[in-house]
Chains A and B, each alone.
Chain A
Amino acid sequence: MWSRIRLWLRAVMRRARMESEMDAELRFHIEAFAEDLVRSGEPREEALRRARIEFGGIERAKEECREARGVSFIDSLLQDLRYGLRMLRKNPGFSAVAVLTLALGIGANTAIFSVVDTVLLRPMPYPEPDRIVQFMLSSPQESFNLSSIPKFMVWRQQTSTLQDFAAYESDSPGINLTEGELPEQLRDIRVSAGFFRLFGATVDLGRTFTADEDRPGGRHVVVISNGLWHRRFAGDPNLVGKAIRLGGEPYEVVGVLDGSFVWDPPTDIWLPLQADPNSTNQAHDHRAAARLKPGINLEAAKEGTKLAAEEFQRKFPGMNGPEGPQGTFTLLPLRNAVTRNARPALLVLLGAVSFVLLIACANVANLLLARAASRGRELSIRVAIGASRGRIVRQLFTESVILSVAGGALGVVLGYAGLHALLAISPDDLPRVGPHGVAVELNARALLFTLFVSAFTAVLFALLPAIGFSRTDPSKILSEGGVRSGFGLRRAKSRYFLVVSEIALALVLLAGAALLIRSFTALQLVDPGFDGHDVLSLEMSLAGTRFQKTAGVAQFVREAEQRVESLAGVTALATTSSVPLEPIFFLPFSIEGRPLANDRYHGGADYRYVSSRYFEVFRIPLRRGRMITERDDGNAPGVVLINEAMARQFWPKGDPLGERITIGKGVGPEFEEPARQIVGVVADVRDAGLSQSPTPIMYIPAAQLTDGLTALGNTVVPLTWVVRTKVEPYSLREDIERELRQASGGLPVAHVRSMHQVAVESTSRTNFNMMLLSVFAGLAVLLASIGIYGLMAYAVQQRTHEIGVRMALGARAQNVLLLVFREGLSLALAGIAIGLLGAAWLTQALKSLLFGVSPNDPMTLALVAVLLLAVAAAACYIPARRAMRVDPMVALRYE
Chain B
Amino acid sequence: MDKKQMELLQGTLDMLILKAVSLGPLHGYGVLLRIQQISKDRLEIQQGSLYPALYRLEHQGLITSEWGESENKRKAKYYRLTAAGKRKLQTEAEKWNRMADVIAGILQSTPEEV
Contacts and interface: CB of A to CB of B under 8 A. Distances in A.
Answer yes or no: do A and B interact. Answer: yes
A54 interface: yes
Contacts of A31: 74
A55 B49 CA distance: 9
Contacts of A32: 27, 29, 70, 74, 76
Contact of A68 (B27, B28, B53, B77): B53
The CB with the most chain B CB atoms within 10 A, among A25, A26, A57, is that of A25
Contacts of A823: none
Contacts of A487: none
A35 interface: yes
A21 B48 contact: no
B48 A29 contact: no
Contacts of B46: 56
Interface string A31-48: 111010000000000000
Contacts of A24: 75, 77
Given A56-B47, A61-B49, A28 B55 contact: no
A384 to B, nearest CB: 15
A390 interface: no
Nearest to B59: A70
Given A65-B55, A68-B59, A28 B48 contact: no
A25 B76 CA distance: 7
B60 to A, nearest CB: 9
A58 B48 contact: yes
A471 interface: no
B27 A28 contact: yes
A29 B78 CA distance: 12
A207 B48 CA distance: 86
A29 B50 CA distance: 11
Nearest to A54: B47
Interface residues of B, number: 21
A28 B70 contact: yes
B51 A28 contact: no
Contacts of B28: 25, 28-29
B111 interface: no
A59 to B, nearest CB: 10
Given A28-B75, A35-B72, A69 B55 contact: yes
Contacts of B53: 68
The CB with the most chain B CB atoms within 10 A, among A24, A29, A33, A60, is that of A29
A473 interface: no
B85 to A, nearest CB: 16
A301 to B, nearest CB: 70
A56 B48 CA distance: 6
B77 A21 contact: yes
A57 B47 CA distance: 10
A26 B52 CA distance: 11
A582 interface: no
A64 B52 contact: yes
B78 to A, nearest CB: 10
A861 to B, nearest CB: 65
A67 interface: yes
Given A21-B77, A56-B47, A28 B52 contact: no
Nearest to A31: B74
A222 to B, nearest CB: 79
A61 B52 contact: yes
Contacts of B47: 29, 33, 54-56
B77 A25 contact: yes
B87 interface: no
B89 to A, nearest CB: 19
B2 to A, nearest CB: 13
Interface string B12-37: 00000000000000011100100000
Interface string A709-722: 00000000000000
B88 interface: no
For chain A, which range describes its interface: under 10, 10 to 19, 20 to 34, or 35 or more residues?
20 to 34
Contacts of A55: 47-48
Given A28-B70, A69-B59, A33 B29 contact: yes
Contacts of B98: none
A60 B51 contact: no
A29 B29 contact: yes
A28 B74 contact: yes
Nearest to A61: B48
Nearest to B74: A28
Interface in B52-72: 52-53, 55-56, 58-59, 70, 72
Contact of B76 (A28, A60, A67): A28
Nearest to B46: A56
Contact of A28 (B29, B58, B59): B29
Given A25-B28, A32-B70, A68-B53, A57 B48 contact: yes
Nearest to B53: A68
Interface in A54-110: 54-58, 60-61, 64-65, 67-70
Contacts of B48: 55-58, 60-61, 64
Contacts of B32: 29
Interface in A775-790: none
Contacts of A21: 77
A61 B77 CA distance: 17
Given A29-B28, A29-B29, A29-B47, A68 B74 contact: no
A709 to B, nearest CB: 94
Nearest to B55: A68
Contacts of B51: 22, 25-26, 29, 61, 64-65
A54 B32 CA distance: 13
Contacts of A70: 59
A24 B75 CA distance: 9
Contacts of B29: 28-29, 32-33
The CB with the most chain A CB atoms within 10 A, among B32, B47, B53, B72, is that of B47
Contacts of B59: 68-70
A35 B76 CA distance: 15
Contacts of A33: 29, 47
Contacts of A54: 47
Contacts of B70: 28, 32
A377 B47 CA distance: 29
B10 to A, nearest CB: 16
B76 A68 contact: no
B6 to A, nearest CB: 17
A11 to B, nearest CB: 16
Contacts of A56: 46-49
Contact of A67 (B49, B52, B75): B52
Contacts of A57: 48
Nearest to A64: B52
A24 B77 CA distance: 9
A647 B58 CA distance: 102
A29 B70 CA distance: 11
A68 B56 contact: yes
A72 to B, nearest CB: 11
B25 to A, nearest CB: 14
Nearest to B67: A21
Contacts of A67: 52
Contacts of B75: 24, 28
A64 B54 CA distance: 11
Nearest to A32: B29
Nearest to A18: B55
A32 B29 CA distance: 7
A55 B32 CA distance: 11
Nearest to B76: A28
20 contacts: A25-B76, A28-B75, A32-B74, A33-B29, A33-B47, A35-B72, A54-B47, A56-B46, A56-B47, A56-B48, A56-B49, A58-B48, A60-B48, A61-B49, A64-B49, A64-B52, A68-B56, A69-B56, A69-B58, A70-B59
Given A33-B47, A56-B49, A61-B51, 11 more contacts: A21-B77, A25-B76, A25-B77, A28-B28, A28-B29, A35-B72, A55-B48, A60-B48, A61-B52, A67-B52, A69-B58
Q: For the complex of A and B, list the 10 residue pairs with the smallest distance between their C-beta atoms, beginning with the closest.
A: A56-B48, A64-B52, A68-B56, A68-B55, A61-B48, A68-B52, A32-B29, A55-B47, A65-B55, A29-B29
